[in-house]
Amino acid sequence: MKKTLTYLLASLVVVFVAMPAFAEIEWSGNIMTGIEKMDYGTATVPSDKESDETQFSNIKLNLDVKADVCDGVVGVAQLRSVCTDCKVFKRCIYVEITDLLIPDGSIQIGRVQLPLGAELAKASEGANTMNNPLIFNSLLADNMEDLCVDDGLLITKVFESVTCKLGITNGCDSEEIGGLQPACKDTNSDKAMTLNFSGDCPAVEGLSLAGTYYTNDMADVTGATDEVTAWIVDVAYKTGLWKLAAALANVEGKYDETYNSEKTVETADIDYLVLEMVYGNGETPWWVAVRQSEQDSSFSINPAISDITVKGIKQKRLELGVGYKLCDNAYLKAEYIKTELKDDKDNLNDKDGIKAIVNVRF
């Protein structure tokens, strides 16, 4: 509770930095709710089996507040809530300076959204699925989502046909690099760096490309180090009502651990592939979409104790969905999703299900 109140107070300080007589403040956000049925009945391991049931989804809320301080300077706060426990947490809180220090560019200072490519940029975030033709995210977006937000500096520069973004941030302390589910913490580490280039291909109409490199080399107060490096390539092609998109990524990491007072180093090497096809492409009130994402992982486990390497852990996710635009600010979506995980011993653990939502933007 104390941390939540601190986040809210920090949000208010940034957003209302422009007073006297109230700066020009804009409020916006999203509400998402729906119904779902998931089936876990085909897991190989009996303890992994769960009964399927139909239930209403937890209501999610995004609240974004933007305050115009003066020409070229704004304060932004993004708050998120999921009504399982109805806690409020911060997403991004930053000050943005546009064109004043960098012509045709901007600087964001605070907790910023890192530019990790088109696949992660369009992914559903909190209650907002508006940029995502489907409801769920690809395996790439799911596993790297927590790397998307960090404390630091984001510089954007727009050239004629290319946008360049550079992020210098505190870095994320990952307790389990194999799962890549880091929590951003204030540490005494070297800083993380994110470099992203994106733009349209002048030689092919409708073709856009993006490339991203991320590195995070940090040490905590105990001297243990976490290292994560990633590269992501995004390609999209639009023609008529069709849009085809693909993403290719590699994530490598290592982290220090101690077992029975003996220090070890554990490593992970994860490859991702995402393929997506959408018909509708924003030109019609309805659309259909299909996405296939794959993850191929290998890990080294406790090499100082036993030289064991687990290879060939594969995960696949298939998504089929339809959407209908009630109006510009209200979408209906339905989706079938199937996720399958198979380890190097062919143990299978999968789930599938359907979900339908209504997503409103205000």
DSSP 82-123: ETTTTEEEEEEEEEEEESSSSTTEEEEEEEEE----HHHHSS
188-237 tens-digit pLDDT: 455 789 999 999 998 899 999 999 999 987 655 455 567 889 999 999 99
Whole-angstrom CA distances from 220 to 223, 239, 262, 263, 353 are 5, 49, 18, 15, 41
256-269 tens-digit pLDDT: 666 556 666 677 88
> In the predicted model, is pLDDT for residue 9 greater than 50?
no
Sign of CA pseudo-dihedral 127, 133, 136, 140: negative
CA-closest candidate to residue 271, choices 237, 313, 300: 313
- Region of residue 180 (left: phi > 0; alpha: psi -120 to 50; beta: else): left
30: its two tokens: 């999203």
Place of tokens 């957003």: 15
Is the pTM for the entire model greater than 0.75? yes
Whole-angstrom CA distances from 245 to 218, 222, 240, 321 are 33, 43, 14, 16
The span from the first CA to the last CA of the chain, in angstroms, equals 28
pLDDT band at 297 (very low <50, low <70, confident <90, very high): confident
For the chain, the average pLDDT equals 80
Give alpha helix (H) positions in the chain.
2-15, 118-121, 139-144
CB 105, CB 96: distance < 8 Å: no
> In the predicted model, is pLDDT for residue 151 greater than 70?
yes
- The fraction of the chain above a pLDDT of 70, given in percent, is 72
d(CA 219, CA 228): 12
Place of tokens 């930053």: 94
Domain boundaries, the chain: 98-361
d(CA 272, CA 295): 5
CA 3 to chain centre: 23
Domain 98-361 indexed as CATH 2.30.30.90: no
Burial per residue of 70-95, b for 16 or more beta-carbon CB atoms within 10 angstroms, e otherwise: eeebbbbbbbbbbeeeeeeebbbbbb
42-62 tens-digit pLDDT: 444 433 444 466 788 778 999
Whole-angstrom CA distances from 338 to 12, 138, 316, 350 are 41, 11, 8, 7
Whole-angstrom CA distances from 173 to 146, 169, 215, 220, 237 are 11, 12, 13, 8, 36
Query: How confident is the model over 4-33, as a mean pLDDT?
Result: 62
CA angle centred on 153, ends 70 and 125, rounded to 5°: 90
What are the phi and psi torsion angles at 198 (to 5°)?
A: -150, 155
CB 129, CB 34: distance < 8 Å: no
